Amino acid sequence: MDMYSPATLPLAPRAPRSRQTSKGARGPARPVRALPPLNGFSHDIPASLAARVEARLAQARRQAWMARLWSGDASLWTGADENRWLGWLRPGAAPGSMGRLASACRRLCVAGFSDAVLLGMGGATLGAEALARILGVAGGGLRLRVLDSTDPAQILALQAQLDLTRTLFVVASKSGATLESGMLAAYFHQRVVDLLGRQEAGRRFVAITDPGTPLQARAQREGYAAVFEGNPAVGGRSSVLSPFGLVAAALLGHDPASLARAAQPMRRACARHAAAHRNPGLVLGLLLGEAALAGRDKVTLLADPGLRALGGWLEQLLAESTGKQGKGLVPIADEPLAAPSRYGPDRLFVHLASTAAPDAGLAARARELAAAGFPVLVCRCGPGLAVAQEFFRWEVATAIAAAVLGVNPFDQPDVEASKARTRALSVAAGPAAVAGGGELLRVEGALAFHGEPASSPSAAALLAAHLAHAARAGDYVALLAYLPRDAACESWLAGARGDIMRATGVATQGGFGPRYLHSCGQLHKGGRAGGRFLFITAQAPGELVAPGHAADFGATQRAQAFGDMEELRARGRRCLRVHISGDLHAGLAQLGDLLRQALAPGVAGHPGRARHAAAAMPLSGAARVPHRR
């Protein structure tokens, strides 16, 4: 079993220099390798926001914010333990281990596997998933799939697509004790044992985890082919340019060292000594933070098709880093587009623009939004490995935005609350617990509701009442689907979000459970109390058991839904759950019809159209600050 050890990495960036030939030198000077161009940045913002950002930029200069970031000064944020979590400022693996990591992955790629399945949650998988979708498979690489769900139907659907005798399983967890990754690893390990025997099964698994974790111990016990050790100074949501993302890139057939090196132009542009007004991470972070303080906290991502996968990674980075103490940035990814007049004054738009395959229609829409008075930021990403620059840019920007908001960007104080409720419910979450405390309304067909007061005369009225108060500017609606994340359910979710947004004007999030718990779950509980949450659960297709775990996957998924809903309600958040029994797609069709009825004028409790007079702000005085190199 191959082992890779972490190291304490220097934080400050160093300029490239030639090797000296004086005493102690290793050889003649080498030419400095030319770096690719810096990813571009520009913005078009109202004058009022521009003034706030300029004032904050002057403060950042006076108080040396970037120097404090690079030196690990925790007082930039809350003075807690922020200095322990800044290893991401130096992308890559531990010194000396990158070559071994690449060699181990090359051996795996030629060992007869056709597919690699990454089992994990949150930061352990979201960056890798973005890399897989943006970079694709290079020559000699494996098809990489991500499984981050406890949904039985989704697990079985993926299993049906695999030849388990030719599949490499990558178990990823920073703590090594993540419930979902542990269950998935136990389930697939048993499936491979049944086919090939215990000794051979272990050789088809590798782990990515921090040193000394339970996952590392399990890997040693079960004979995993390799363990890739993470850096304890890098948190999960900032780990994409650490072994958690580098191993995925290497298994796809890409050179992990080249991926880490591709971030260098952005790293140097964000250095402590870079001019503040030209520092891409600093300027973006100040824009995000000041916009949120001004009420524009809905960071709406408009991604060109080739960069759409960045949205899932950015959701977690922004939401989990800033959503606490009643504050936070609310990321809005994959929301259907609408005309500028349909959006409220709480929006800030970010166009993730691809220079390799630009979307002219989306660029035109961004210009329309700017002309209507909305703040519009444009991040231009170069081809291929240049996406590493965006990872680094946004990690710096999120840390700076957290400094503006006065929160610790590296903790997640409210995430454990739902996990505790899940653990308490998991043993009891059998079929009798489907109602989750009592059904308040059953309609003809497959649907049952609970969570709101029982005074509504019909299902449409119940939905209308639930959405009514969300029509106020500043609120948002989150559809939380404990369903298989497949094309049909994704399409339904997008359609429902579009219907709600067009009828009410509020921002919408769409998440699959339990995936969203490791992404936006912190924001939902610790951020601003403006969310309305619609949970959607469904009948599991029979038992699916993970050896060594008391509850099966279906019971665990129910416990996760109920636990999160209970925790949100305990914090005063408004929640409604719809449970589908019988045919899932018939139930979703029925729910879609009820939502459209609820959003139509004339229904009791109709949410109506929020009036957002501030949305159409004049462009006079709007500021444009390009950052292009």
409: CB partners within 8 A, 6+ apart: 77, 82, 321, 322, 398, 399, 401, 402, 403
Backbone angles phi and psi of 45, in degrees to 5: -135, 155
What does the pLDDT look like over 159-208, one tens digit per residue? 999 999 999 999 999 999 999 999 999 999 999 999 999 999 999 999 99
pLDDT of residue 445: 78
pLDDT above 50 (res 25): no
Q: Is the model's pLDDT at 561 over the cut of 80?
A: yes
State in words which class domain 95-262 has. Answer: alpha beta
Which pLDDT tens digit goes with each residue over 345-359?
999 999 999 999 999
What are the pLDDT digits (tens) for 295-335?
999 999 999 999 999 999 999 999 999 999 999 999 999 99
Q: Cα separation of 245 and 259, whole Å?
A: 9
Mean pLDDT in residue range 377-397: 98
Q: What are the tokens at 185?
A: 């690893």
Distance CA 39, CA 175 (A): 33
Q: Which runs of consecutive H residues, i.e. helices, occur in 252-351?
A: 256-262, 264-269, 280-293, 310-322
> For residue 627, what is the DSSP state?
B
Q: What is the pLDDT of residues 222-256, one digit of tens each?
A: 999 999 999 999 999 999 999 999 999 999 999 99
Q: What is the mean pLDDT of the chain?
A: 89
> Does 78 or 423 have the greater pLDDT score?
78
Cis peptide leading into 514, omega within 30 of 0? Answer: yes
Structure confidence at residue 428 as a pLDDT band (50, 70, 90)? low
> Residue range 588-612: average pLDDT?
78
Amino acid at residue number 603: V
Average pLDDT over residues 423-449: 64
- Reduced DSSP (H G I as helix, E B as strand, rest coil) percent helix, strand, coil of the chain, to 5: 45, 15, 40
> Residue 117 belongs to what H/E stretch?
strand 115-119
Please report the pLDDT score of residue 424 as a whole number: 79
Q: Which residue has the higher pLDDT, 497 or 12?
A: 497
User: What are the structure tokens assigned to 41, written together?
Assistant: 């940045």
Question: Do 40-82+273-405 and 415-599 have matching folds?
Answer: yes
Confidence of residue 615 (pLDDT cuts 50, 70, 90): very low
Give the residue among 51, 13, 55, 75 at the shortest CA–CA distance from 403: 75
Residue 12, pLDDT > 80, answer no
Q: How far apart are the first and last CA of the chain?
A: 45
| Residue 330, SS3 per DSSP | strand
pLDDT confidence of residue 611:
41
| Three-class DSSP category at 442 | strand
Task: State the pLDDT at residue 603.
Answer: 62
Rg of the Cα atoms in the chain: 24
Residue 623 to residue 432: CA distance in whole angstroms: 59
| Domain ranges for the chain | 40-82+273-405, 95-262, 415-599
Average pLDDT over residues 506-516: 97
Give the per-residue pLDDT at 361: 97
CA dist 362 and 351 (Å) reads 8
Give the tens place of pLDDT for each residue, 453-470: 666 778 999 999 898 877
DSSP letter at 8? P
DSSP per-residue codes, 347-399: EEEEEEEESSS--HHHHHHHHHHHHTT--EEEEEE-SGGGHHHHHHHHHHHHH
Q: Which CATH architecture has domain 40-82+273-405?
A: 3-Layer(aba) Sandwich (3.40)
Would you state the pLDDT for residue 606?
A: 63
Assign domain 415-599 one CATH number from 3.40.50.10490, 3.40.50.720, 3.50.50.60, 3.90.1200.10: 3.40.50.10490
- Measured CA to CA, the distance from residue 525 to residue 212 in angstroms comes to 31
Q: Which residue has the tokens 């178990």?
A: 171
